[in-house]
Structure 1
Amino acid sequence: MTEPDRPRRSGLRGFGHDGPSPWTDLDRPPLDAATLRRDLLVAGGLWTALDVVEETGSTNNDLTARAKAGAAEGAVLIAERQSAGRGRLDRRWSAPARSGLFLSLLLRPTVPRERLGWLPILIGVSTAATVSRVAGVEVGLKWPNDLQVEVAGEERKLGGILTELTGEAVVAGLGLNVTLRESELPVPTAASLALAGAEVTDRGTLLRSLLREFAELYGEWQAAAGDPQASGLLPAYTARCSTLGRQVLVQLPGERELRGEAVALDTDGRLVVRTPDGGRQAVGAGDVVHVRPEPRTS
């Protein structure tokens, strides 16, 4: 996908980077890395390192390499553009430079290993809460970890989350569309904050608020030993989950399908589906399609 032609300022250094970065789109200024470090890398806080790079293949891949080399918890890597971004089920995607927030976090949680599956849900809750508060756009969560907004009366995907375990560390990636234009959408079901009518699309403001919100919720979750109920994570997710109470088609591994009503999340973060025969089945992995109710006929 290519960006539309825009005026180019030669010789203008991008103040958000540690090297030259000419602006190719004046509506999309670069992030100010120095200011982000000053505001977020505070003594005793979660965040210990923050880097902004002009372009990379995948921030998750880059941060995984750092994790294997022994990097401390709290490293944040942000790319103004990813050329080989990855989503769930190894899906590939890309977006114009500086059109969103494309970042990865290095975490070394001390909770029981069986509760690590709650991390992408934690990131989803903190991101949705931040965007709703700062940008004035109501954000829902489609199970397990897609961010959704309403555009022109339709639910569309605003962003996604991918967490990967590497040794004792977790690398968590987040992609959030901020100023993506209609003509730049990779698929018609995608969206951006700008298209949803956001009050704020300044990426630096959003990023600072998002990382602070996540650090607070992560601390509470760790203090509760990863317990989703005691930490408040389960009720917070349930309140924003657009999947619950809906008829769904779950595409399971092995080309299997499950149809029914999404009725709850269990304590492992799995989606509980009530099947037409009245049974209940918990789903830990799968693609969920929200099924529109069929119109009633008289």
Structure 2
Amino acid sequence: MKKLAYLTMIIVAIVTVSFNQKVSAQDPVEITYQDFYDSLSPYGTWIDYAGYGHVWQPNVEDGFRPYLTNGHWVYTDAGWFWNSDYDWGWAPFHYGTWIYDDNYGWLWIPGYSWAPAWVTWGSFNGYYGWAPLMPGINIGRAFASWRPHAFYWNIVPCNRMCDRDLTAIRIVDKNVKKIGKHMVIVDNFANPNQREFYSAGPRMEEVNRYTHNNISITRIMDNNRIEKNRVEGDHIRVYRPDVRVEQPDQARKAEKINIRPIVDDNQWPKHKFNVRQQRENIERLPMRRSMKMHHSRR
């Protein structure tokens, strides 16, 4: 009788845990664009940018590049995941797109679809490259014919792709233009939730051959609070809520006459502003309140 009671307690405990897990899984986290605004404001400046609406410029060090600085790649069950070491990295590397402006530096355009990384991947002659997607690029429709501007490519030797410090080994300057124009786009796209397609990046078996590593698959698990993504054994805890579109409170206004986005192949940054100068340019912009927020479909 005691044994039967003990077994009954175990079964009840298992059912209870299972039920709680199901309830938790059915309780999705949701945020608004205002949450983006509030969460990222301590780490940068919001600008109402002509043509793109509200964008965010991070307070970062000189030489910052999205999907290169202060982070590394982790292979997951959703493809290559950019694991940022920035406190704010949960949002700008997994929602939305990036552009570079000659006056203001790297700017993030918010979006509402989550991905391990919103980048395009390429390979050529022993090199891997990846570049942040620009606003308006839809992988499902136009991706096959779209190539990033050479300035946007982050290019490293294939056998170093899994390094923790990719900044130290990135190919720079003229070599980027030379290699970038020959990059063959990696044809490996994913659409696990029947939403927008994203590039999952090079296949694990191929990267293993180059790096001579035994790369294992890291499982993505949901986190219900805002914090840095963190790897724990064979899984990574990720904050990836659904996003509702609502306007933020305020942002600095950048009129069309004052912006210089690097978007065409024949463009290249001219001013060579450092981060401090770019931040001063932003601080000179007038503040505006309650303006409608545009967003990329990402």
TM-score, scaled relative to structure 2: 0.24
Higher relative contact order, chain-length normalized (CA < 8 Å, sep 6+): 2
